[in-house]
Structure 1
Amino acid sequence: MKFEDFKMNEHLMEALSYMGFDEATPIQEQAIPVIMDGKDLIASAQTGTGKTAAFLLPILHKLTDKHDQLNTLIIVPTRELAIQIDQQIEGFSYFTHVTSLPVYGGGEGQDWETQKKALTKGAEIIVATPGKLISHLNMGYVDFRHLEHLILDEADRMLDMGFNEDIQKIMTYLPKKRQTLMFSATMPGKIRELAKKILIDPVEISISISKPAAGVLQAVALTYDSQKTPLINSLIAKKPEIKSILVFTSTKKKVNEIVRGLKSRDYQVEGISSDLEQNEREEVLLRFRSKKTRVLVATDVLSRGIDIKDINFVINYDVPGDAEDYVHRIGRTARADTKGVALTLVNEDDMYKFDRIEKLIERKVTRMRLPEALGEGPDWKLGGGRPKFSKGGKGGKGGGRKPKKSNTANPN
């Protein structure tokens, strides 16, 4: 199902188009119509299924005509998730006037007065951790009179972290007439008990992570960034029998860099990203299909809905944002019961993401040693970098950071 089929606001669709969104994931296909209809929802969906966009997009669609009132509260277990969701809101709402603010503790958070202003008469959407929100509620100035939407994301994790009482207390401050959405990776008894207390006749959805095709031989190489292009050059040179190689990267800037690096070795290589017009994309794909181009470097705009036969080798130049995108990327090879190879290049900062993907696909991927000429890569055991989040102000139309093109085409 395509996003245009949901008939969402034109400014929201403009942002989705700019970011390379086209096909909805299963959780989005099922949840978006339910949320747009105003029904309560309980959804079992892991990180990596596209669940964040599943609840953000219909809420933003509803909010495009309402301004300057706190309309939506999203409660999350950690500051990292609060920042992630706020950044996604910023991208989706770039062409609208909708504003949001993350509310969480710690030294890198927005200052108290900024949070207070947002909670009284500022942002339409607040993304908050339970403890920090309780601190503001205790001061008596939070205005929830106009609240229409409540979302609990990673609800099972919040309960595991001991936030049950905080959540129950927050509920006492909210209007009884509201739409409530609950997302949880698992559905233990305590989650169902909470759902009975805060949801009214909810629609229930359960989505599992897609699994890679059996014919894909998966491998991972731990590399420094400076080793990635030389490694790809080495693999291409050693395998002249491989006629179709697809290289994925998360940004269009990287597409251009990789193409330049491979062209220096006189390989038949082209790049494709959302910067190209539709007719240009079609011409590039035609040359790749007809084997005139041996190596195609692409952003995630190509990871969904494109059927190209006989791709022997998929290389992830970087780790995609979630498991679903990983499965879609490597699913470009080993189609129709054929065999194929998928290699992911992981630097120190991306180790944690690949560890998470392995857990979600329930498989330990084979580690590949680097060729001796490239030297040693980082030590997996000593790495495990954590996500880095940028700080910055918010803005409505014409403000904030512009949505990124084709950066994991369908985020969490």
Structure 2
Amino acid sequence: MTDFKDFNLRPFLLDAVKEAGFKTPTPVQKKIIPLIAAGKSVVGQSQTGSGKTHAFLLPIFNQIDLSQNAIQAVITTPSRELAYQIYEAAKQLASKSETPIEIGNYVGGTDKQRQIDKLGHHQPQIIIGTPGRVLDLLKAGAIKLRQVKYMVVDEADMTLDMGFLNEVDQIASSMPEDLQMLVFSATIPQSVNEFLRRYMENPAIEEIPTETTISPTIDNYLISTKGRDKNQLVYNLLTMGEPYLALVFTNTKERADELTDYLKQQGLKVAKIHGGIQPRERKRIMKSIHRLDYQYVVATDLAARGIDIEGVSLVINDDIPTESEFFVHRVGRTGRNGMSGTAITLYKPSEEPKIQEVERMGVKFEPKNLVKGELVDTYDRNRRNKRTKDKKQLDPTLLGMVKKKKKKIKPGYKRRIRKAISEKEVRDRRVEQHQDFRAAKRAKMKQMRAKRNR
């Protein structure tokens, strides 16, 4: 499949695709669209920026019955921003249809009673929303799912992380048995697998390799913050050129607030997006960003899955993401549809293990330094490792013991070496267990915060 015409799409969809500027299908679209069109349930494992939104929207729009005023497709997403993104993409496709296509967007933080009243008079053909709000409407009897043909669970791993998989389960259990289930996820954790087995019999499973998720048109740079004021560094990076639109991602809401305040003090007009901003205000800000009222945007990882803005030319990672998968989601905001883009990641020397974790995902960095307003090449941080890559490395303390070895070995020397190595392994295991405990605690707190914010 080298052209959207090969998918036998309705003429209005071809017009919409052309208007959106899509020239050729992405790898995920080439694989997924024919499977959905053939009536198969699908598990698509792919990252943000791979084109998966249109991979499920196009075949759904192509096959829904436009004469039937009933809900035929339900699309759930874990974040409000992502729901708005999919809703906008769906509206753009529907805008080219001569027969009106009704699309409903239902997320937390909006007027639920007003939605219930409106649904009592008219049911849309496609609904898009967060699991909590969709389930609320279902329990209120406002939405009727007896004629649903498709259910899409987008960002299933994030749905699990935020504690919404139970809500999705309840929604799916209210649908017909011959439901065509379409699940998309960056990763497939065990709990998601259990959900899939419950609702999908012999689904088509397609995995799009990680290498395809970071566009080759993106310059991916790495800069050390050692000895530098990070706020000043971010400001210098943002203003060293004229980015069409720049996104700066932070790990926390507090850091987003701090950095936004600093950049505003330097005279920049900056928009801020994170979970602590009220839904109505977030929606207003997003509309302003789409109108290009802002050249600079500071956002948290929650927004990384939901922001889909055309023309992002620069992404700055103020910190390495807490979850390494988010790195691809962040960087995937630029370099879209074959356009060029720049991604810059800032890191402290103590964060070397986090950088290595990202690199194990297939991500390659170019080491850079900012000198007199220009990015210049700098040394490879792995240069020492490369010189000794064929040698098994010992802990520095143990290495020192070995180097002190004399030709005439004293009694018990080998025993002391073995004991030291054993003690080192015990310490390493304890550190690893402590890290696992902290990771589990963070995940639990994340779920609790998500439930409170729903």
Quick one: distance in 1 between partners of 2:153 and 2:198?
13
Relative to the length of structure 1, the TM-score reads 0.57
| Structure 1 pair 37–145 and aligned structure 2 pair: CA distance change class (3 A) | same
* Shift of residue 91, structure 1, vs aligned partner: 1.4
Q: Which amino acid aligns with 2:58?
A: L
Work out the CA distance in 2 between the residues paired with 1:158 and 1:165: 9
Q: CA RMSD in A?
A: 4.0
Aligned to 2:92: 91
CA contact (8 A) 1:213 1:331 kept: no
Superposition deviation, residue 119 in structure 1: 7.5
Give the 3-state SS of the residue equivalent to 1:175 in structure 2. Answer: coil
The equivalent position to 2:107 in structure 1, one of 68, 80, 104, is 104
How far apart, in 2, do the equivalents of 1:85 and 1:119 lie? 24
Tell me, what secondary structure is at the counterpart of 2:61? helix
| C-alpha contact (below 8 Å) 2:44/2:184 kept by paired residues | yes
**Equivalent runs, 1:6-405 vs 2, <5 Å:** 6-63=7-64, 65-96=66-97, 97-106=100-109, 109=110, 111-118=112-119, 121-209=122-210, 210=212, 211=214, 218=221, 227=239, 317-318=313-314, 323=331, 326=334, 343=342, 362-363=363-364, 366=367, 369=370, 371=372
Q: Say if 1:73 and 1:149, in contact at 8 Å, map to a contact too.
A: yes
Per the TM alignment, residue 17 of structure 1 is displaced from its structure 2 partner at its CA by 0.7
Asked if structure 2 preserves the Cα contact closer than 8 Å seen for 1:228 and 1:345, the reply is no
Q: 1:328 to 1:78 in 2, by over 3 A?
A: closer
**Which residue of structure 2 aligns with residue 277 of structure 1?**
none
Contact 1:223 1:345 in 2 (8 A): no
Change (3 A) 1:186 1:343: closer
Residues in 2 aligned to 1:40 and 1:125: alpha-carbon distance in whole angstroms? 18
Deviation per residue, 1:329-373 (Å, 9 max, x gap): 7897xxxxxxxxx75699xxxxxxxx9xx8986355656537459
Larger radius of gyration: 2
- TM-score, length basis structure 2: 0.52
* Greater relative contact order (Cα < 8 A, sep 6+): 1
Letter paired with 1:154: E
8 Å contact from structure 2 (residues 77, 153) kept in 1: yes
SS in 2 for 1:89: helix
Partners in 1 of 2:39 and 2:121 — Cα distance? 25
Distance in 1, matches of 2:238 and 2:218, equals 31
Which has the higher mean CA deviation after the structures are superposed, 23-32 or 127-136? 127-136
1:287 maps to what in 2?
none
Please tell me the residue identity of whatever aligns with 2:89: Q
Take 1:361 and 1:69, find their aligned partners in 2: how far apart are those partners?
Answer: 44
CA distance, structure 2, for counterparts of residue 227 and residue 318 of structure 1: 11
Partner amino acid for 1:100? I
* 8 Å CA contact retained: 2:157, 2:192: yes
Structure 2 counterpart of 1:104, which letter?
A: V
8 A Cα contact 1:317 1:345, kept in partner = no
CA deviations on 1:308-346 (whole Å, 9 max, x unpaired) are xxxxxxxx74559975684567897xxxxxxxxx75699
Unaligned runs of 5+ in 2: 224-232, 245-288, 293-309, 317-328, 346-354, 375-454
Deviation at 1:182, TM superposition (A): 0.8
1:178 positional shift? 1.7
SS in 1 for 2:370: coil
Partner Cα distance (1:146, 1:33) in 2: 23
SS of 2:47's equivalent in the other structure is coil
Aligned equivalent of 1:284 = none
Question: What secondary structure does 1:159 align onto?
Answer: helix
Say whether the 8 Å CA contact 1:76–1:82 is kept in structure 2.
yes
Q: What percent of counterpart residues are identical?
A: 25
Report the secondary structure of 2:152's partner residue: strand
Q: Sort the Cα spacing of 1:368 and 1:101 in 2 relative to 1 into closer, same or farther, 3 A.
A: farther
How far has the Cα of 1:144 moved from its partner? 1.0
Q: Distance in 1 between matches of 2:242 and 2:144?
A: 57
| Contact 1:116/1:136, CA 8 A, preserved across alignment | no
